[in-house]
Amino acid sequence: MTTITTILWDVGGVLLTNGWDHKERAAVLSRFGVDHDAFEQRHPEANDSWEKGLLTIEEYLEKTVFYNPRSFSAGDFIEAMKEESKLLDDSALGIVGSLAPSDSLVLGMLNNEARELNDYRIAQFKLRDYFKIFLSSCYVGLRKPDECIFELALDVLQCDAQEIAFVDDRAGNVEAANAVGMRGIQYMGSEQLKGELERLGVSVR
C-alpha cells in the first residue's frame, strides 16, 4: 500500500461547525427577522460566486439581504454570521493536532468557504498552527465536489494521488476525491476516523 504523505481536511462538519450552511443561515436570519424563503431564493447563485472569491461579503449580502432597506447594519449581520462558528462537538481537531508535528505528513485544508468567514475561522481557531497548505475555494476559485479542485491539489502538491488522504463529512465530496485517485474518508466521528487512518497506515496517538 502506498504510504500516505499528505492529508487534506474539510473544516465545516469535521473540525468546526459549518460556516454558513442551512442551520447557521436560519439562526441568523431569525435573529434579524429576515424572511427565510426570500433569502434562500437569492442565496445559491450569490453563494457560488462568493465561495469562489468572486464577490466580497458586502456584495453577497447586497444580493441576499440588503436589496431592501434594513433596520440593522451589514456589520452587525456579519458579526452574527461569524458567531455561528464553533468547535464541533465531536471534532477531529484533536486528531489534527496529534498529526501536525509529524515530519512525515503534510496537513492541508481543502474546503468550501467564502474568504471573510474562512479567514476568520483560520485566525479564531488557530488553524495555521496545524496546516501548511490552504486550498480553500475562495483562494483557488473552485468548489467541491467539482473534481477540478482535487486535480488542482494534485498539481500544487506534486505527489501521487494515492499518497493523499482526504477527510470530509459529505459523501459527494469524498466520491470526487476518490475519482481522481485520492483516499477519501467520510467523517462520521473522531473514533471512526482514527480507525480509517490506521487502516491507511497513519498512526494516531
Residue 190 belongs to some domain of the structure: yes
Q: Please tell me whether residues 163 and 146 are part of one structural domain.
A: yes
- How far apart, in whole angstroms, are the C-alpha atoms of residue 20 and residue 36? 14
Same domain as 190, residue 133: yes
Q: What is the mean pLDDT of the chain?
A: 98
Q: Look at the chain and report how many structural domains it folds into.
A: 2
pTM metric for this prediction:
0.96
Residue 49 burial (C-beta neighbours within 10 Å; 0-12, 13-18, 19+)? middle
Note whether residue 205 is domain-resident.
no
Please tell me whether residues 106 and 183 are part of one structural domain: yes
- 142: in domain: yes
Is residue 12 included in any domain, yes or no?
Answer: yes
Owning domain of residue 70: 22-83
Q: Are residues 121 and 103 in the same domain?
A: yes
Q: pLDDT tens digit string along 118-167? A: 999 999 999 999 999 999 999 999 999 999 999 999 999 999 999 999 99
Would you call 7 exposed, middle or buried from its count of C-beta atoms within 10 A (0-12, 13-18, 19+)? buried
Please indicate, yes or no, if residue 146 is contained in any of the structural domains. yes
